[in-house]
Amino acid sequence: MNINWYPGHMAKTKKQIIEDLKLIDIVIEVLDARIPISSQNPDIQEQIKQKKKVIILNKSDLSDEKQNQKWVEYFAKQNIPAVLVDSTSGKGFNEVDKVIKNVYEAGRYEQKGRVGKSIRLMVMGIPNVGKSSFINRMAHKASTKVGNKPGVTKQKQWIRVSNEIELLDTPGVLWPKLDEKNTAMNLAYTGTIKDEILPTIEVGFALLKVLMEHYLKNLIERYKLSAEVIEAILQNRVLEPNEKALEVMNEIGRKRGCVIAGGEIDQERIANMLLEDFRTGKLGKITLEMSQ
Ligand SMILES: Nc1nc2c(ncn2[C@@H]2O[C@H](COP(=O)(O)OP(=O)(O)O)[C@@H](O)[C@H]2O)c(=O)[nH]1
Ligand SMILES: [Mg+2]
């Protein structure tokens, strides 16, 4: 993360967001479709509740298609419309427009005196979920700075999206929740928490364990592992779960030639490779938080 979330900073950010909320009709909460719960910020939900909300499940090009549908249903059950989007290609944006108009129309009786005025939106989300990419897409232009450095300060202004819709050009940057280990790890896998903060080997190894549980086929395919060898490792009753994962890691290392002097497997290199391959989608479409 390029933002240091100390309490004073969080309080200031929250105050600014609450201030901005007064100007808008609908909150656009951008989540990472691979980790829809971990990429939410619970501390701000109380304030957002006063507003209509649309959830954007961004990076859906990288997440599991079956899980994508389940997550949309999950939010629908809570009466929150969620739209699957890929902000890099623009996929899903026609649906975004439609849903925004529907949500606005449904709440129109509450907005007496605003008939005929534009629908005003504001984008919110933790760093790295794709807020700037989303805003760029909505604006159909590339004037908003996009990159891995969230929180670039800009002058506040409205972007006209269409005849009916205006968008606040500055997103509300929410702080990620790092108090729970599992959530912090999910944020580390996706690269929201930068690799310098947590040891790469630990993060990569933990990711491997998650992948072994839910996406073993993807690992076998990507690294051309022998299904029989992997099966034998998994069925080995003498091995603890950590030892099994270590064995699989070594298998990947052997296939990839990640060997250091003395014939030992270069675990740091494998960990880096696993993280990189997951983040870039080379391991396939993967969701790390499963909807029930
Ligand atoms: N594959 C994929 N990458 C995305 C998507 N949206 C954003 N990104 C990438 O995620 C990174 C963070 O995006 P950015 O818009 O800067 O996030 P912000 O910090 O929330 O403003 C960038 O490398 C983007 O190219 C998406 O829908 N799919
Ligand atoms: Mg940004």
Please check whether residue 55 is in contact with residue 29, taking contact to mean a CB–CB distance below 8 angstroms: yes
CATH number at residue 18: 3.40.50.300
- Kind of pairing between the strands at 172-173 and 119-125: parallel
Indicate if 129 and 224 belong to the same structural domain: no
Indicate if 151 and 108 belong to the same structural domain: yes
Whether 110 shows a pLDDT value over 70: the answer reads no
Summarize the confidence of residues 210-238 as an average pLDDT.
Answer: 97
Indicate if 74 and 159 belong to the same structural domain: yes
How confident is the model over 133-192, as pLDDT tens digits?
A: 999 999 875 444 444 444 555 456 899 888 889 999 999 999 998 888 999 999 999 999
Instruction: Answer yes or no: is 181 within a domain.
Output: no
In this prediction, residue 50 carries a pLDDT of: 86
Instruction: Answer yes or no: is 48 within a domain.
Output: yes
In this prediction, residue 96 carries a pLDDT of: 96
Instruction: Answer yes or no: is 288 within a domain.
Output: no
Instruction: Answer yes or no: is 123 within a domain.
Output: yes
CATH number at residue 266: 1.10.1580.10
Q: Is 13 in the pocket of ligand 1 (CB under 6 A)?
A: no
- Kind of pairing between the strands at 259-260 and 264-265: antiparallel
Instruction: Enter the tokens of residue 292.
Output: 């029930």
Instruction: Answer yes or no: is 187 within a domain.
Output: no
Q: Which residues surround ligand 2, an ion (CB under 5 A)?
A: 131-132, 150
- Kindly identify the ligand whose nearest atom is closest to the C-alpha of 58: 1
Indicate if 149 and 52 belong to the same structural domain: yes
Q: How many CB atoms lie within 10 A of CB 162?
A: 14
Q: How many CB atoms lie within 10 A of CB 79?
A: 7
Mutate to test the pocket of ligand 1, among 86, 133, 169 (most ligand atoms within 8 A of CB): 133
Instruction: Enter the tokens of residue 145.
Output: 């700075």
Phi and psi at residue 30, to the nearest 5° = -90, 125
C-alpha of residue 121 to centroid of ligand 2, in Å: 16
C-alpha of residue 1 to centroid of ligand 2, in Å: 12
Predicted confidence band at 237 (pLDDT cuts at 50, 70, 90)? very high
User: Which residue, 130, 155, 173, sits at the end of a domain?
Assistant: 173
pTM of the model: 0.92
In this prediction, residue 1 carries a pLDDT of: 47
Angle at 143 between CA 5 and CA 11, to 5 degrees: 20
Indicate if 169 and 212 belong to the same structural domain: no
C-alpha of residue 166 to centroid of ligand 1, in Å: 21
Indicate if 14 and 141 belong to the same structural domain: yes
Indicate if 21 and 69 belong to the same structural domain: yes
Predicted confidence band at 230 (pLDDT cuts at 50, 70, 90)? very high
Between 19 and 108, the more confident residue is: 19
d(CA 96, CA 237): 50
Indicate if 263 and 128 belong to the same structural domain: no
Indicate if 72 and 138 belong to the same structural domain: yes
Instruction: Answer yes or no: is 284 within a domain.
Output: no
Please check whether residue 205 is in contact with residue 249, taking contact to mean a CB–CB distance below 8 angstroms: yes
The residue written with tokens 């509740």 in the block is 49
pLDDT exceeding 70 applies to what percent of the chain?
A: 90
Predicted confidence band at 243 (pLDDT cuts at 50, 70, 90)? very high
Runs of H (alpha helix) within 150-199: 181-189
Instruction: Answer yes or no: is 162 within a domain.
Output: yes
How confident is the model over 59-98, as pLDDT tens digits?
A: 999 999 999 999 999 999 999 999 999 999 999 999 999 9
Least confident of 34-43, 126-135, 188-197, 283-292: 188-197
User: What rounded mean pLDDT belongs to the chain?
Assistant: 90
Please check whether residue 97 is in contact with residue 165, taking contact to mean a CB–CB distance below 8 angstroms: yes
Q: Is 88 in the pocket of ligand 1 (CB under 6 A)?
A: yes
CA 97 to the chain's CA centroid: 21
Indicate if 126 and 251 belong to the same structural domain: no
In this prediction, residue 12 carries a pLDDT of: 93
Q: How many CB atoms lie within 10 A of CB 269?
A: 18
In this prediction, residue 106 carries a pLDDT of: 86
Please check whether residue 176 is in contact with residue 129, taking contact to mean a CB–CB distance below 8 angstroms: no
Instruction: Enter the tokens of residue 36.
Output: 């829809």
| Total count of domains within the chain | 2
Mutate to test the pocket of ligand 1, among 31, 34, 60, 88 (most ligand atoms within 8 A of CB): 88
User: Which residue, 109, 139, 173, sits at the end of a domain?
Assistant: 173
Indicate if 105 and 153 belong to the same structural domain: yes
CA 133 to the chain's CA centroid: 13
In this prediction, residue 144 carries a pLDDT of: 44
Indicate if 40 and 149 belong to the same structural domain: yes
Name the closest-CA residue to atom 17, ligand 1: 130
Q: Is 21 in the pocket of ligand 1 (CB under 6 A)?
A: no
The residue segments making up the domain with residue 230 are 199-279
Q: Which of 88, 91, 75, 95 is nearest to 29 (CA)?
A: 75
C-alpha of residue 251 to centroid of ligand 2, in Å: 38
In this prediction, residue 143 carries a pLDDT of: 46
